[in-house]
Copies of this chain bind each other. A is one copy, B any other.
Amino acid sequence: MPKRRILPYVLLGLINNKGSLSGYQISQEFKNEIGEFWHASHSQIYPELARMKDDGWVDDEDDGKSTYYLVTDKGLKVLRSWMAEPLKDNEESFSLKLYFIRDEHDPLMKTLIEQELQINRDKYSHLEDRLKTVFVDDEQIRNNFGHYLILTRAIERERNHISWLEDKL
């Protein structure tokens, strides 16, 4: 399977979050929190917006200074359908999709958190197994100390993430 292009969904989500945005404004958005999970340079953004307009996902309004884009009904459907797709293994998708939820009571939120919880519980138990099988004795730890550290760190990170997710449910 080809690597899933998610840039168009990110753009849809950003525009939808703010109501309307210009290409330049989108490029500025990536300096904020969204930039923790995704980034795109202006040379990607402008052509992508043009393609999205061709596909009828967005409309544009030009005020003479900038071209502002708005999500169409079709675009909103595309966005929601992407957001409703089951999460894959990567945490970025979870964060991105969560970021694009505006309404406190959107039912998608619970689904997302439950999916992420499942993924992370599996990962957690996998990491614990690895710790037990790879580091059977102290010598293993002493001779691969960095590996030991990042593994225990990963376990602690998962634990922290899981308890946050449980708390939000």
Asked if A128 lies at the interface with its beta carbon under 8 angstroms from chain B, I say no
Asked if A77 lies at the interface with its beta carbon under 8 angstroms from chain B, I say no
Asked if A146 lies at the interface with its beta carbon under 8 angstroms from chain B, I say yes
Distance from A97 Cβ to chain B, minimum over Cβ atoms (Å): 8
- CB within 8 A of A99: which of B141, B147, B160, B164? B147
> Judging by beta carbons under 8 Å apart, are A146 and B33 in contact?
no
Q: Which residues of B contact A141 (CB under 8 A)?
A: 104
Main secondary structure of the interface of A (DSSP, over half): helix
Asked if A42 lies at the interface with its beta carbon under 8 angstroms from chain B, I say no
Q: CA–CA, A142 to B101, complex, Å?
A: 10
> Judging by beta carbons under 8 Å apart, are B149 and A103 in contact?
no
- A-B contacts besides A101-B145, A156-B164, 4 pairs, CB < 8 Å: A17-B147, A33-B151, A100-B146, A102-B143
